Each structure stands twice: as C-alpha cells, then as structure tokens.
Amino acid sequence: MRRGTVVRWAIAGAGAGIAATVWWWSDRAPYPYAQRRMLDMQLPFLTNHRLDALLGPRPGERVLEIGPGTGLQALHVAVQLGATGRLDIVDVQQPMLDHVMRRAAASRIDTIVPTLADAARLPFPDASFDAAYLVTVLGEVPDPAAAIGELGRVLRPGGRLIVGEYFDPHFVPLVTLLRYANAAGLTLGARLGPPLAYLAQLRRH
C-alpha cells in the first residue's frame, strides 16, 4: 500500500476513534431496561451499607429516590422506614418502576409509591421529604443542575440528599456536584469513597 494511503487510513481511523469516544462520554440516555441484570450488583464503594451510613433512614420518614433502576437500594431503604414511613421512587422509565413494584409486592412491602417523572421537574410540593438519594443517576439526567435544584426544593430544611457517582461515561465529579449543590442551597456534610466512586451527603440549609 502506498504511504499516502496508509496515512489517510490512519487519520480516518483516529477520527473515528475520537468520535466514538466523544459519543461514549457524552451519551446521556437512561440506562436501558434490557440490561437490568447488571443493576442487581452492588458497585464497589457504593454499597447499601455505605448509603445507610450517610442517609440514616429512620422509621416514619418520607424519603425520595430518583432513578431506582431495579430496586437495589429502594427495597433496602423502604424496610428501614417501617410501616409508617414512605419511599417515593421517581424514574423516567415505567418498566423500571414496574420492576421495583413487583419486587416490593413479592417482599410484602407496601410503602413504596412510584411516579413517572423527570428528576429535573419533580411533581412534589416544596419541603415534602426528610431525605432523598440517587445512585449512579445524576449523569444520565440531561439537566443535572436543574435536578439538584429540584431536590433542594423538595427537601425540608435540614433534610439530607445523598448522591452516589461511579466512574463511567455519565460520571459527575464531586467538584461539579458541589457547584450544582451550592446553587441549590445545599452544602456538603460528609463524603465516603475515593474521588472516582463516591457517596456525598448534602444538607439543605
């Protein structure tokens, strides 16, 4: 093959590689329900045990989860809220909500309430929740700043918001999260995990 042809192929290959990388890292599509089995595994550093440590769910509380997926965290948290508590789950995909509700019914949990909605437009009045959390969700939301703003709005004063992020194409660095949080009247209370797999606790003023 002539040298000029080789160079042209090399440039075309490099361009395609860069385009694929940009697409991969900027993709914000919701996690596909068809790949739900992957969601049943706890990620290193983002375990339910660590979520408990920052969320501290108590009996009788009203808590909000954004993007429950198949319910890895939802079932675990709902049990801790007891019969007088309530866990609202919000997702943009009805199959995810249906999946969680089937699992809840199988476990005889009747305190989970599903709502089909976008995190950036939450259909709840101000100060409705004692706490809220979202794990590996924020980077999938097309307007993450608006979502954190909405979470700040629906939390009662003193309420806590836990955000879990993992190093994947949707990763939101802590410094970016804190920018959204400050604009929403939330401040960092605590953090667990390394910078690329963290759980952050934010507090509403």
Ligand X SMILES: C[S@@+](CC[C@H](N)C(=O)[O-])C[C@H]1O[C@@H](n2cnc3c(N)ncnc32)[C@H](O)[C@@H]1O
Footprint of ligand X (CB under 6 A): 30-31, 39, 66-69, 72-73, 90-93, 96, 118-119, 135-137, 140-141
Closer to ligand X by CB, 137 or 177: give it.
137
Q: Considering the complex, state which of residue 11 and residue 40 has its C-beta at the smaller distance from ligand X.
A: 40
Q: Which is nearer to ligand X, 92 or 178 (CB)?
A: 92
Is residue 199 within 8 A of residue 172, CB to CB? The reply is no
**Least distance in Å: CB of 166 to ligand X?**
9
The C-alpha atoms of residue 133 and residue 186 are separated, in whole angstroms, by: 13
Residue 66 CB, nearest distance to ligand X (Å)?
A: 5
Is 110:104 a contact under the CB 8 Å cutoff? Answer: yes
Tell the smallest beta-carbon distance from residue 128 to ligand X (Å).
16
Can you count the helices (H) and strands (E) in the chain?
6, 7
Q: Decide whether 5 or 35 has the Cβ nearer to ligand X.
A: 35
Q: How far is CA 132 from the centre of its chain?
A: 10
Residue 76's nearest CA partner among 92, 60, 91, 65 is: 65
Nearest to ligand X of 7, 38 (CB atom): 38
Q: In whole angstroms, how close is the CB of 15 to ligand X at the nearest point?
A: 30
Handedness of CA 183, 184, 187, 191 (dihedral sign): negative
Nearest distance in Å: CB 71, ligand X:
8
Contact between 75 and 107 (Cβ < 8 Å)? yes
